[in-house]
Amino acid sequence: MKLIVAVIQDKDQARLLDALTEAGFRATKLASTGGFLREGNTTLLIGVEDDRVDHALQIIRRTCKAREQLVTPLSPMGGPADAYIPFPVEVIVGGATVFVLNVERFEKF
């Protein structure tokens, strides 16, 4: 068994959960925050049998879109704040950031 940990954008979570449920996967949704943007995103925990991992990844790939986002970086640590002129930069936020972990043991009581 594997545990898929997928960090996705909030905008994609409803579509992804619908598609996963429809295909017979089970998932847990966690509210998370990206370390860089400090904005809300969604982390899904999806426990799957080994032979279904690729199918789950296919659904994630199909459902989650990369988007451009404008970010104004925080002032640099230790630098003179008055000399810092913040200007927005564009970053491309996933798709999905996906980790596939081996599950040593799975129990359900």
List interacting residues with ligand 2BA (CB under 6 A): 7, 34-37, 41, 91-94, 97
> 63 is written with which tokens?
């459902």
Closer CB to ligand 2BA, 24 or 28, in the complex: 28
* Least separation in angstroms between CB 39 and ligand 2BA: 6
* Least separation in angstroms between CB 37 and ligand 2BA: 3
* Least separation in angstroms between CB 98 and ligand 2BA: 9
Phi-psi map region of 95: left, alpha, beta (phi>0 left; psi -120 to 50 alpha): left
Task: Give the phi and the psi of residue 80 in degrees, each rounded to 5.
Answer: -70, 115
Closer CB to ligand 2BA, 35 or 79, in the complex: 35
Say if residues 31 and 40 touch (Cβ distance below 8 Å).
yes
* Least separation in angstroms between CB 5 and ligand 2BA: 9
Closer CB to ligand 2BA, 38 or 108, in the complex: 38
> 98 is written with which tokens?
């996906």
- DSSP assignment letter at 76: P
| Calpha distance 31→1 (Å, rounded) | 24
Q: Which residue is nearest to ligand 2BA (CB)?
A: 34
